[in-house]
Amino acid sequence: MIRSGIILFSLFVSATQAEAPINMTRPKVLISNPSVPAAALELLKEKCDLIVSPSDEKNSILNLVEGVEAIFWATHVKLDNEIIEKAGAQLKLIASMSAGYNHVDLKELKKRGIKLSNTPGVLSNAVADIAMLLALGTSRRLTEGRFHIERGTWGADTNNTQWMLGTDLEGSTVGIVGLGGIGQAIAKRLKGFDVARILYTGHREKSEGASLGAQFVDLDVLTKESDFIFLSAPLTNETMNMCNGTFFSKMRRTAILINVSRGQLVDQAALIGALKEGQIFAVGLDVMVPEPLPIDSELLKLPNVVLTPHLGSATVNTRNAMAQLTAKNILLALEGEELLTPVKF
């Protein structure tokens, strides 16, 4: 499509003898964040004119978006009607450099026939690594241990053989909510820790579940029987606040919750209550509400909470792979070809 556009444009130029810059036919692409890895920009530069927003703030994006054919979306800012409207009718694709796409107004895209791509798969291992970090950190009381060192309370009790005992992954029952790419990568890692059972829940039983030796159960069974619960399902109307007071009351008092999905899956006030009352043993969160978490949040004060600041996909290789996949989707959309990782909605 782009190539034929260039040919048509060349014919037009020779027919009219007009002097026009050759790059007038190059599609414009907005890069919503100046920190997008260079490898992706290199891919795009060959065929597109890039407009790089100096910041990922909405206003900066709004100022530059008019007339672009694709937007490389690398920010958690909401992609709403205002931005889509300002871009104009030529907008073909939103390419989000993320697996999750809850920040995108899908209804608006559908109405206007604009495509959406995301970057599943390439980040599964990195996110699963963070999930394991949180599982180990919570089960071995990482924050509490750190508090003891910082507060000078690491002392006499060390001789008590019962001091700071954690729980084991070995022999445990683990529940995974959402056995997609990330959930499967978590299950693979768990097998190396000799867990006794892997349960999972979701919309349907999956063939990958059987190959991982994981058992499909309903949410209720998973909640009641798991020693560790991993949340790796996308944020939807169905999963929003799924971990609420009722959910925590069903969990074992010795159980641990890990969330690497989106903070909104958890009713945070109910979670803080459950942690304080000892209704559950601990929580490990890579995602929370809001992000960034205010520094006076109660979550930072509790000893049975391990937090990371939404670092799931934050490794050099993973971010490069995500950026390159995003760029490839843009090039394909501009050529009128099938996307590598389209979001179906």
Closer residue to ligand DGY in complex, CB, 235/243? 235
Instruction: Report in angstroms how near the CB of residue 100 gets to ligand DGY at its nearest.
Output: 3
User: Closest CB to ligand DGY among 98 and 215?
Assistant: 98
Is the backbone of residue 278 left (phi > 0), alpha (psi -120 to 50) or beta? left
- How far is C-alpha 201 from the chain's CA centre? 19
What is the nearest approach in angstroms of ligand DGY to the Cβ of residue 186?
A: 14
3-state helix, strand, coil in the chain (%, to 5): 40, 15, 45
Cβ-Cβ contacts under 8 Å for 42 (sequence gap 6 or more): none
CB of 98 to ligand DGY, least distance (A): 3
Buried b (16+ CB within 10 A) or exposed e, 16-35: eeeeeeeeebbbbbbbbbee
CB of 101 to ligand DGY, least distance (A): 8
**Shortest Cβ distance from residue 58 to ligand DGY (Å)?**
19
Please give the torsion angle defined by the CA atoms of residues 177, 186, 317 and 328, in that order, rounded to the nearest 10 degrees.
-50
Sign of CA dihedral 16, 17, 19, 23: positive
Where residue 203 falls (left for φ over 0; alpha for ψ -120 to 50; beta otherwise) is alpha
Q: Nearer to ligand DGY by C-beta: 304 or 313? A: 313
47 vs 93: CA distance, rounded Å: 16
The Cα–Cα gap between 52 and 65 comes to 10
Q: How far apart are CA 94 and CA 29, in angstroms?
A: 10
Distance between CA atoms of 12 and 3, rounded to whole angstroms?
14
CB of 285 to ligand DGY, least distance (A): 12
148 is catalytic: no
Q: Are 305 and 285 in contact (CB under 8 A)?
A: yes
User: Are the CB atoms for 226 and 198 separated by under 8 Å?
Assistant: no
Question: Closest CB to ligand DGY among 25 and 315?
Answer: 315
Determine which one of 76, 148, 203, 310 is catalytic. Answer: 310
* Residues 274 and 296: beta-carbon distance below 8 Å: no
Nearer to ligand DGY among residue 100 and residue 202 (C-beta): 100
Type of residue numbered 319: R
Residues forming contacts to ligand DGY in the complex (CB under 6 A) are: 98-100, 123, 310, 312-313
Minimal distance in Å, beta carbon 264 to ligand DGY? 12
Smaller CB distance to ligand DGY: residue 136 or 314?
Answer: 314
Between 29 and 99, CB nearer to ligand DGY: 99
Q: Looking at the annotation, which residues are catalytic?
A: 310
